[in-house]
Amino acid sequence: MMKMTKRKIIVFVVLAALAGGGFLAWRSLRGKNQEPTYTTATVERGTIVATVSGSGNLVQTNSFTVTTSVTGVVKEVLVKDGQQVEKGQNLVEIAPNQESEQAKIKAWSAYLAAKDAVTAAEQNKLTLAKGVEDAKTKLIVAQQAAEVGENWDPTDENKQKLNADRRSAELTLELAERKYQQADAAIEKAKIDLDAAWLSYQQTLPLITAPQAGKISDISVVPGMMVSASDQKLLCLMGEQKPLLSVAVSEIDIGKITTGQKATLSFDALPDKNFTGKVVGVDRTGTATQGVVTYPVLIQLDTGGEQFYANMTATAAIIVEAKESVLWVPPAALRAQAGQTVARVLVNGQVQEKPVEVGLETSDRAEIKSGLNESETVIVSEQATSGQAPTFGGEGGFRMMMR
């Protein structure tokens, strides 16, 4: 009885071992026969655009604020919202108080004084020009006199005096010419002061006129309203000037930015619209905020419009490099191997590795300068099979893209 039981146990163990071995062999053959699944892409020809991003605010719109320093009561508003006006056209009339009348008289006096200063500076230039000519004449006379005694004894007092007179005439001419050269700068300064005096006088006038052509908007006063604040806003003029956007660019990217580069712009307040512009200024001084250094870049929009308001936030993509009609693949299709960049290519269902030369790279495109042909199929990633871990970009793993 015991022998029969032992025999049954041995048979059971043998059968179990055979079954287990068969299962393992089946599983092994199944794993070997299953082909991996690849995610692929086609080598394409197209355009690659590299950009630098920045965000910021509008610092200038096409809206110009018209103000006044006159204190008094609004007598009449001579325009309506949306009205097109020309430069110099009357906008608002104010009945000024006595203080403003006195300020106007003082501003007019200052303007007349500035005007006289320009006349005096121009007259001074004429005087200095005559001084230069007189100095040249005296120098010629002194040189001729010194030449007469050229062969005289060096100790001769007359010869020494003639040489001293010549040197004095030379110094006088140098000084006269220096003063004459400074005359233009003096005239320019006087004219700037004159313009400032005229603007100050205009701010005291009770009849406010349009400083430029444009469309009226944002009228802030009505007849009978008291105006007393310095530089009080009266209304706005929508002109033809194009908005300016200031964006902050990182210290890593600022070296790539130059004036004239194109940019695409999007505004938080205008989510369904895109705009274009160009870089018109780069401030390389930079500012540090909590250890982060950024540099302001000015971008002028190609178009204006009433939809733009001061300080609106926007994001800019500045085009720093672009290449057309070049071969490209997704960056994930490339990997580093033995000091070179390679791509895995499917040829008749077989995987081949090809060394490639890479050019311009962005987040989604890598230029292929050599090594691949258009329409070839490259492997981007490999789908995991049973018992295997997924791989990406080939057996070598991801290739780190340097930007």
- Of the listed ranges 219-228, 251-260, 275-284, 385-394, the one predicted with least confidence: 385-394
Class of domain 37-45+327-392: mainly beta
Return the pLDDT at 203. Answer: 84
| Domains of the chain by residue range | 37-45+327-392, 52-62+238-324, 69-217
Q: What is the pLDDT of residues 274-302, one digit of tens each?
A: 999 999 999 988 888 888 999 999 999 99
Return the pLDDT at 231. Answer: 74
High-pLDDT (> 70) share of the chain, %:
85
2 has a pLDDT exceeding 70:
no
378 has a pLDDT exceeding 90:
yes
Q: What is the pLDDT of residues 16-59, one digit of tens each?
A: 555 555 545 545 555 455 567 889 999 999 999 999 999 999 98
Domain 52-62+238-324 has CATH 2.40.30.170: yes
- pTM for this structure? 0.54
Return the pLDDT at 8. Answer: 54
| Pairing mode, strands 232-238 and 226-227 | unpaired
Domain 69-217 has CATH 1.20.1740: no
